[in-house]
Structure 1
Amino acid sequence: MSALAQDVLWSPLADPAVLALAPSPDFLSFEPSTALAAPAVYRDSPQGSHAVHDSGIATQILLLPGGKASRPLAALIPLDSQTLGRVEALVRFWRAYHKRPVPPDTRMTTQQRRRLRLMIRTADGRANGASYRDIATAFYGTERITSNPWKTSALRDTVISLVKGGAAMIGGGYLQLLRHRRRS
């Protein structure tokens, strides 16, 4: 099976948006909890059974030992620095499951997504032998590149920064994309 056709399954430590689900205690709710429609494929791990549940948005779930999709479940949300991100992921999943409008994932802004795409494109260009100037020409056009001296050009600095950022992402920085940035 192609890597592009397979689901990526993350550890809940790496991705706080992984929903950890456990058997629901009967005393927590007055109304009976609805069982999930079972995902087609589970992958077992020491943590439990991982699956991707698609109810309008694809959400990775982790059924903790003893949990079954056919039985009532409860979400387990640790109270740590990633709690708000986990709650947001649960709200997105719950709203999609109940066919309600789903709020966007706020881990990345539109500007961050655009910059990420540029970083990956520049890293790909460099890996294929393109110079900084070649990359800048592809992004901004020949006219803009030749209008200023290249060595002191702000576009040159931008491309160099994008290449460094792309290399950092490839080197493992992409894991930070899974988490909300905390304000200091």
Structure 2
Amino acid sequence: MNTKEIILKKTFNLLLLKGFDNVSITDIKNYTGMSRGILYHYFKNKEELFIEVTERYFVHIFDFDIRKIKDFTVYEFCDFLNKRFKKIAKTISTIEQEINGSSDASLLNYHFLFYQVMQRDAIFRNKYKTTTEKELIGWEYALQNSIDKNEIRQDIDIKSSARQLFTLTDGIWFQSIFSNDGRIIINNIKESLLHYIRLLE
């Protein structure tokens, strides 16, 4: 792991544990074991470091290429979304294990940090909005593809069903603030989506 990678991972871990408001450049220096000179060699200031952490651990994880999923059926898109949520949970767990040797942070910490980023960063809000719009479009593609393959009924309202599937996914994902076990939440998402999809058959 190179120096920049260490700084990003340890800063993300520190932000998960303490939140934006409670982390200073001195905290980052002490937590990473890097001098201010090294930190400022890679990042102009704390804000630039935070922006890169946000890009890596929120934007890049959530975002996807709509062209890669446009031929998915509802079952394939459901599987794709569940893999994405598993990747988020695994990323948090892996970083915790690498940094601390334990998993002190949870999806609750991740959601808390997510809301802080949403509140502070208009660019991030716009990027996340674009990702949610792509997810809605992904469900529309998937529903149409499943209709074309006679996997679900022909008479469903695609736009309405896409919104309901999106809301179901998003709602259960954000309920993970009440659970320390990301696996349970991800399984709940999958089961709920599959239950809804079966209603469309």
TM-score (norm. length: structure 1) = 0.28
Bigger strand fraction: 1
**Structure number with bigger Rg:** 1
Identify the structure with bigger relative contact order (alpha carbons < 8 Å, sequence gap 6+).
2
Which structure features the higher share of helix residues?
2
